[in-house]
Structure 1
Amino acid sequence: MGSTEEDKKPISLYESSPSQPLLSNYTSQIEEPPRIDQPESDSAQYLHITYNYGPRSFKDIPFLILFLILVLCTFGFGIFAIFHRNTNYSNASFYSYNSSSTSCVKDSLLSENWVFFTSSSSHFVKDLIWTLVITLILSVPICFGLLLLLKHYTKQIFYASLPFFIVIPIFINVYWFVACTISSTCSDGFPLVYRILVLVFVFLIIGVIIWILVLNWHRIELTIRIIGVASDALSRNLGLFGVLPLLTIGLLVYYSPIIVFLVFARFNGKIVPKESDGEYTCVWKQDSWVPAYFALAILTMLWSAAAMVEAQVYVISGTVAQWYFSNLDETPRRSIRNSLRNAFGPSSGTICLSGLLIFVVRFVRAAVDSSRHEDTPGFIILILRCCVNAFLAAVDFLNKFTINFAAITGEAYCSSARMTYELLKRNLLSPVFVETISTRLLAGIVFVLSAIYAIAACAILKAASDLGVDSYYVALLAWLLLIVVLGFFVHVLDNVIETVYVCYAIDRDRGDVCKQDVHEVYVYLPISRNHRQTPGSRDVVV
């Protein structure tokens, strides 16, 4: 058949054919994906969606004002607590009850200060400090090396790490069982029956890991390609690894005076007599406002931490989006600076609102989880738990990609949530799915690297020091530190994956291709089935 004029048009959007597997050859002809018929006016309303380089207006100002009020109250009452403190707090034990004055007076015979020193093994502390410092220094090249390997050799890294997903847990499980059986101290304190139960339990966990890998094996290849694309995007914005830790350090600096305020708040009170079985003793009584201040300060700290996490996501999304929508292959200049200015400027209210929602959801979910351990039977309680879980799931559903979209467009939180959902729905993309298995694979790779490092560190400590059994604890702490650093790397890479996903959806909505290599990978993500097929449209099989 002869080709028509329509057949000669370049294809800018891609989708897998129903007759082909999910991961078919990219060079094969791919049909244009089905689109939901939209009114012309409605579709034209969203043609402007792209990165907003222009000046942005302040959004969600009430939540920014509320956050600032909490911060000012925390600092204001904290300063008051410092100047209003009672210096007799530390000497409360030196006060005795005076029956003649019916008050507590200081006993000069007991007002001597005694200082006690606790001694610990100097070798243990020295080796621990040096091990953690060296681990922290080596974690930087480990992160950059892992990023470059994931960028160029993602498949090789995964398949090389895959056996260790199973071998290392089995080795550790068998090793501790044998070591505890040989050691008389461990075997006496940990009976054989309990050791066998723990051994079997760990093997069951390993079996679950194997089952998850087998169950998701058909998505492994696609996940590997997604991680490779995200690693390439992150490698072009390496400045994020300098800015994001500085934001975390800034949060710790911001916490420092609040912690000082909490310490001095405990000094606000007085020494009063207390009757017990007809006898009077002198005790310290805090002022009535101190517990309320503790609640205020802790609430401010938790909200600040959640807002800082959202601010980091905002900076990552804004920076990666500027690279994605740039015409050049190079990273735009001042992209991180622009994202920081927008995050702590026009979109600060949006970040505060997002952080507040995240904090409330986490708090309510923790309360619901803790209530499950209580013996409170009743059908009404069960219904309330189901309703709360449904509400939390709805909030997570709406929050997905919202802050990413806000970083790209500068819209308010509610507007970003609505527009993101409509954007992904129009393009038949799932609002709650971006290959979540990629996080598990990255976590597995991180676990393998950190475990190998911990085993090597333990071997070096046992050979070069006389710590003995303590070398295991030092290696364990080094493993935890490396896990935290590499976990931060995975967190950044996950946010890059989600940002590129939103950018791809915007491209697809406009019928444009800003990054061809991204489209060649993200096009094979599963199509959302939560839409109504229009008459004559074909079903998409994934």
Structure 2
Amino acid sequence: MASSEEPNKPTSLFDSSSSSSQPLLSNSPASLFPYPSIDDPPHSNPHESDPSQFLQISYNYGHRPFKDVPILVLFLLFVLSSFGFGIFASFNRNIHYPDLSFYHFDSKTSNCVMTNSLSSSSFIWVSLYSPSSSVFKSLIWTLVVTLVLSLPICFLLLLLLKHYTRQIVYALLPFFVLVPIFINVYWFVACTVNPTCSNDFPMVYRILVLIFIFLVIGVIVWIFIVNWHRIELTIQIIGVASDALSMNLGLFVAIPSMTLGLLIYYAPIVLFLVFARMNGKILPHHHVSSGEYSCVWKEDKWVPAYYALAILTMLWSGAVMVEGQVYVISGTISQWYFSKEEDDTPRRSIRKSLRNAFGPSAGTICLSGLLILVVRVVRAVVDSARQEDIPGMFNLILRCCVNTFLAAVDYLNKFAITFAAVTGEAYCSSARMTYELLKRNLLSTVFVETISTRLLAGIAFVLSAIYAIVACAILHAVSHLGIDTYFIAVAAWLLLIVVLTFFIHVLDNVIETVYVCYAIDRDRGEVCKQDVHEVYVHLPISRNHRSSMATTSLLV
């Protein structure tokens, strides 16, 4: 089936037609790759692999076997156990749990009995209706309008980044500093003028906070000054990624749908957790200090274990969904990248990516999600121990070792899912092959961790802050909410920045996917997207390359 849709595409992971007697880029014309030749690899160790021994990598349009099946089975066991014990907890719950306050200790029977014959379930709960306040109405309407406007704002931002990337970036760069300065000065003056705020927040503390925020703004300015030489290259890369994303707008439907599906999947587990709390008995408890008895709720011994199981399943499922979204984005963008059509996208590319994500590569995604979850938990534990400032050389060495291990896992995991979406390989194979791919082509994963993400985050912050200021001004003009206007404006800012952060998350994944696809192109000595090569050809060379390319290394 795949061969009929893509007759000119390779049907396997590797291109068997490549000659193994020549280096992969030995026949590439210099006009296509004006970076230093890698015919003479930087590593001189004779025991290391020769680049000519590697087969050429390509997008796998053919049949993909299931990978990392044991991890998939383990994940399904967690899910089935959570739902199975949750259903048991729902039917086994004690219906008298809500009536705990109506129980008292009966000394005659030495047991807990109900105070009266009526239980809380027999009470008629009367909901008192009170008209919504003007603050609540304004908050709801502001959030609804913000949510409706967030979609065209994201779409307009994408089009502007596609066609006018340089103008947008340079126009918003001053606001990265002006907006925080305006907010900092505004709150200081407003708090000083307001008697209530000035009494609750003394002048000394206000000045300290003002100075601290100015110091943070100074750090932001310093970061941009230091990385100014990367701005132009970052602008070009954002423009290329925006063009790729604009050709696959269906991702803005698929990715939110996956998030919505995760919330629907969470709903019964949360309900099971509530029902699990109702599994137990009402028993008398003797207070040693007073010598009296009272009735307390004693939950079953298995309830804490189920809580741990269900919460772990929810955390793992959330990590799996995040990695699944990365997989779908990477699979869709890579199909567009390797397609022969210049101004069109392959048919059903998102559907193919979804089918691969929740089919053959489901175990790979589960393994990646598990590793990400473990890294986050271990890092949280390490950060907690650091805050406690536990003395001792052993603790310091242990933290250094743990941080080194976590950094290594993050390094290997960065492009593993992206590579798996392209090739259909297992997780460990994808991590190893990605490392070798970038190493053979003198590329470094450090590049995508540079200023592009920070620049996009700054754009999102500025746009959401400007929107919040406009919303605050409109609310001041049409209503008399007083200080509540600022809280409503902050709520609108938070909602819009969440939506824009989602947009940046998708665009970041597109940048990383195009980066891997470019590395595959370079490894094969081909050019699938000329405009991508014209930009990515200026990428910094890996720091491990010990040659005379000093000027290029300065970009890293």
TM-score, length basis structure 1: 0.92
Deviations 1:287-342 (A, max 9, x none): 11111111111100000000000000000000000010011111000100000000
Greater mean alpha carbon deviation, residues 358-367 or residues 463-472: 463-472
Greater mean alpha carbon deviation, residues 218-227 or residues 93-102: 93-102
CA distance in 2: counterparts of 1:337 and 1:56, whole angstroms: 15
Among 148, 155, 169, which residue is 2:166 paired with? 155
Residue pair 1:12, 1:512 contacting (<8 A) in 2 also? no
Residue pair 1:527, 1:540 contacting (<8 A) in 2 also? no
Matched with 2:386 is: 372
Does residue 52 (structure 1) correspond to residue 60 (structure 2)? The answer is yes
CA distance in 1: counterparts of 2:476 and 2:38, whole angstroms: 60
Matched with 1:391 is: 405
Matched with 1:139 is: 150
Deviation at 1:37, TM superposition (A): 7.3
Among 202, 226, 236, which residue is 2:237 paired with? 226
Residue pair 2:82, 2:313 contacting (<8 A) in 1 also? yes
Deviations 1:183-219 (A, max 9, x none): 0100111111110010000000000000000000011
CA distance in 2: counterparts of 1:420 and 1:10, whole angstroms: 24
Deviation at 1:115, TM superposition (A): 6.4
Among 121, 126, 129, which residue is 2:140 paired with? 129
The structure whose RCO (Cα within 8 Å, separation 6+) is larger is 1
Deviation at 1:463, TM superposition (A): 1.0
Matched with 2:520 is: 506
Query: Cα gap change, 1:287/1:263 in structure 2, threshold over 3 Å: closer, same or farther?
Result: same
Query: Cα gap change, 1:349/1:377 in structure 2, threshold over 3 Å: closer, same or farther?
Result: same
Among 432, 451, 454, which residue is 2:468 paired with? 454
Deviations 1:438-496 (A, max 9, x none): 01111111111111100111111111122221111111001000000000000000000
Whichever residue aligns with residue 67 of structure 2, its letter is K
Residue pair 1:132, 1:481 contacting (<8 A) in 2 also? yes
Among 318, 321, 327, which residue is 1:314 paired with? 327
Among 263, 282, 286, which residue is 2:274 paired with? 263
Secondary structure in 2 aligned to 1:369? Answer: helix
Does residue 252 (structure 1) correspond to residue 238 (structure 2)? The answer is no
Query: Cα gap change, 1:103/1:150 in structure 2, threshold over 3 Å: closer, same or farther?
Result: same
Residue pair 1:12, 1:511 contacting (<8 A) in 2 also? no
Matched with 1:101 is: 109
Matched with 2:431 is: 417
Secondary structure in 1 aligned to 2:443? Answer: coil
Residue pair 1:513, 1:519 contacting (<8 A) in 2 also? yes
Deviation at 1:382, TM superposition (A): 1.0
Among 64, 67, 72, which residue is 2:72 paired with? 64
Secondary structure in 1 aligned to 2:33? Answer: coil
Alignment of 1:324-403 (within 5 A): 324-329=337-342, 330-403=344-417
Deviation at 1:45, TM superposition (A): 5.0
Whichever residue aligns with residue 36 of structure 1, its letter is P
Does residue 284 (structure 1) correspond to residue 297 (structure 2)? The answer is yes
Matched with 2:308 is: 295
CA distance in 2: counterparts of 1:452 and 1:75, whole angstroms: 45
Deviation at 1:378, TM superposition (A): 1.1
Residue pair 1:95, 1:104 contacting (<8 A) in 2 also? yes
CA distance in 2: counterparts of 1:9 and 1:363, whole angstroms: 46
CA distance in 1: counterparts of 2:90 and 2:101, whole angstroms: 22
Deviation at 1:109, TM superposition (A): 7.3
Deviations 1:230-262 (A, max 9, x none): 001111111100110000000000001001101
Deviations 1:148-189 (A, max 9, x none): 000111010011101111111000000000000000100111
Query: Cα gap change, 1:367/1:37 in structure 2, threshold over 3 Å: closer, same or farther?
Result: closer
Matched with 2:11 is: none
Matched with 1:172 is: 183
Alignment of 1:15-54 (within 5 A): 15-16=34-35, 32=37, 35-36=40-41, 43-54=51-62
Query: Cα gap change, 1:74/1:120 in structure 2, threshold over 3 Å: closer, same or farther?
Result: farther
CA RMSD of aligned residues (A): 2.0
Deviations 1:486-516 (A, max 9, x none): 0000000000000000000000011111111
Query: Cα gap change, 1:516/1:95 in structure 2, threshold over 3 Å: closer, same or farther?
Result: same
Deviation at 1:43, TM superposition (A): 3.7
Query: Cα gap change, 1:105/1:56 in structure 2, threshold over 3 Å: closer, same or farther?
Result: same
TM-score, length basis structure 2: 0.90
Does residue 469 (structure 1) correspond to residue 483 (structure 2)? The answer is yes
Matched with 2:17 is: none
Structure 2 residue runs of 5 or longer lacking an equivalent are 1-25
Residue pair 2:28, 2:525 contacting (<8 A) in 1 also? no
Task: Give the share of equivalent positions with the same residue, in percent.
Answer: 71
CA distance in 1: counterparts of 2:345 and 2:127, whole angstroms: 58
Matched with 1:25 is: none
Does residue 433 (structure 1) correspond to residue 447 (structure 2)? The answer is yes
CA distance in 2: counterparts of 1:415 and 1:401, whole angstroms: 12
Residue pair 1:223, 1:435 contacting (<8 A) in 2 also? no
CA distance in 2: counterparts of 1:103 and 1:37, whole angstroms: 81
Secondary structure in 2 aligned to 1:541? Answer: helix
CA distance in 2: counterparts of 1:116 and 1:375, whole angstroms: 51
Residue pair 2:42, 2:545 contacting (<8 A) in 1 also? no
CA distance in 2: counterparts of 1:528 and 1:120, whole angstroms: 64
Secondary structure in 2 aligned to 1:372? Answer: helix
Query: Cα gap change, 1:119/1:206 in structure 2, threshold over 3 Å: closer, same or farther?
Result: farther
